[in-house]
Structures are given as structure tokens and as C-alpha cells.
Amino acid sequence: MIAAIDAGLTDKSGRKVTLRGVDDENWRSVADIVPRDDQRDWVAESAARYLLLSLREGLWHSLAVYAGDGVVGHIMHAYDEDDGCNWIGGMLIDATEQNTGVGRAALLTLIGYLQELPDAPAVRLSVHEENTGARKLYASAGFVDVEKDEDGDWTCELPAAPAGDEA
């Protein structure tokens, strides 16, 4: 179980944003996280699906996104042996909590955590070409487009820091 990941970031109203493991206390709140109706083409209908994926396949690691003491979203990460990259997936902020700066803070917190791991590789994620809000967020965090598949999903990458770079 990962202890709380706290990069000291807040949302636009000053709530502290942290990532915590999913446990007996919070899993129901995480499972109930849902996107807006018009976002369902890009993500699962609720975070419950991502929780099950993490539990059943053991590849992805689900994290609860907290704003203050409340669960407001889900995000997960996995190491892909095929491309040697850490992947971020299942990023979902509850419809009632979007556009408050939580998503940006959660993303930057997870990126910081992954980049501090030993020999941290590049970080990758997949995002549909029409998901302009998410694409804008990822670009502002430094992700660059790598390739687009036939379904319109972009693989985007945040390059690994050069060896010896302490920044």
C-alpha cells in the first residue's frame, strides 16, 4: 500500500490535493467517481472499472485522488515492460469536481512521484484526439505526441530526465 503522495499542490480553491492508496475505507467513494455524460466516449462509465482492472490483472496501480479529506477522483499507473515506460491511465475527476484545478494537481503529483523512482523512465499516456481538455492539460505538463492509432488515440510522452539531472 502506497502512503499518501503529497507534492504540496492545491486546487484553485486552496484544497490540498494528494494521492492515496485504495483501501477498505475509501474504495466505495473511488468506485463511485463518474465522468460527465459527454465524456463517456473517452473513459469508463465509473472508476469502478479501473479498480477492478487493478485488482484483477495486477499491472495497474489505482490511486484515490483527494481534495482535502474528500475523494474526488481516480488515477493509476503501470510499468510497461514492452516499451520500458511508466504509464498513467484511468485519470478521472468526478463530474462535480472538474475545472477546479484538481486534475492538474493530481497529474503533476503522480508525475513527480514516478520521476523520483530510481532510474525513472519516460512517462506515457494515451488520450483521444477529440478529448481537447485532457490534451491541453497533458501538453501543459510537458507531454509530446508520439503516435496516433487508427482509433484516434494519441500516445503522448513526457521524456525521462537526462541521467545525472537532479532537477
Ligand X SMILES: CC(C)(COP(=O)(O)OP(=O)(O)OC[C@H]1O[C@@H](n2cnc3c(N)ncnc32)[C@H](O)[C@@H]1OP(=O)(O)O)[C@@H](O)C(=O)NCCC(=O)NCCS
Applying CB under 6 A, the span of 21-29, 37-45, 52-60, 116-124 interacting with ligand X comes to 37-45
Provide the residue type at 99 as one letter.
N
Got the DSSP string for 85-114? EEEEEEEEE-GGGTTSSHHHHHHHHHHHHH
Site for ligand X contains 93 (CB under 6 A):
yes
Applying CB under 6 A, the span of 22-30, 51-59, 128-136, 154-162 interacting with ligand X comes to 128-136
Choose which of 101, 110, 156, 157 interacts with ligand X (CB under 6 A).
101
Site for ligand X contains 10 (CB under 6 A):
no
- CB environment 112-147: b (16+ within 10 A), e (fewer): ebbbeeeeebbbbbebbeebeebbebbeeeebeeee
Provide the residue type at 85 as one letter.
C
In which region does residue 70 sit, left (phi positive, over 0), alpha (psi from -120 to 50) or beta (all else)? beta
Q: Which residues pair with 70 in a beta bridge?
A: 67
Binding track, positions 46-85, relative to ligand X; x by CB under 6 A: ----------------------------------------
CA distance 11 to 159: 26
Choose which of 134, 143, 156, 157 interacts with ligand X (CB under 6 A).
134
Site for ligand X contains 15 (CB under 6 A):
no
Site for ligand X contains 131 (CB under 6 A):
yes
Site for ligand X contains 44 (CB under 6 A):
no
Choose which of 68, 133, 142, 152 interacts with ligand X (CB under 6 A).
133
- The DSSP output letter for 59 is S
Which residues are at the interface with ligand X (CB under 6 A)? 35, 39, 42-43, 91-93, 98-104, 127, 131-134, 136-137, 140
